């Protein structure tokens, strides 16, 4: 997916989200948008490049439907 690997953990929690490389936690919002999770550790390491986080968000937005379907396949409807 645009050179970014996303992970959905089977033992994870709501809200619907995926983990990207660099370790960015991306919320898959019900309105079809994506955003970094609203938590202090949404991007790790803390000194990660902003461009890396932006790349992850752009890839998640481009593949929103696939990522949301993967989350729901594992965890059920959000």
pLDDT, tens digit (0-9, with 9 covering 90-100), for 22-54: 789 999 999 999 999 999 999 988 888 889 889
* Residue 67: per-residue pLDDT: 94
Sign of CA dihedral 19, 14, 69, 76: positive
> Would you state the pLDDT for residue 22?
76
Where do we find the tokens 């998640």?
60
pTM of the shown model: 0.83
Confidence of residue 1 (pLDDT cuts 50, 70, 90): low
In angstroms, the CA 67 to CA 64 distance is 5
Tell me how far the alpha carbon of residue 17 is from its chain's centroid.
5
């Amino acid at each position: 997916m645009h050179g970014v690997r996303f992970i959905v953990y089977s033992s994870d929690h709501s809200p619907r989200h995926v983990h990207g490389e660099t370790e960015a936690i991306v919320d898959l919002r019900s309105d079809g948008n994506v955003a970094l999770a609203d938590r202090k550790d949404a991007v790790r390491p803390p000194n990660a490049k902003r461009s890396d986080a932006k790349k992850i968000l752009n890839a998640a937005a481009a593949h929103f439907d696939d990522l949301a379907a993967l989350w729901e396949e594992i965890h059920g409807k959000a």
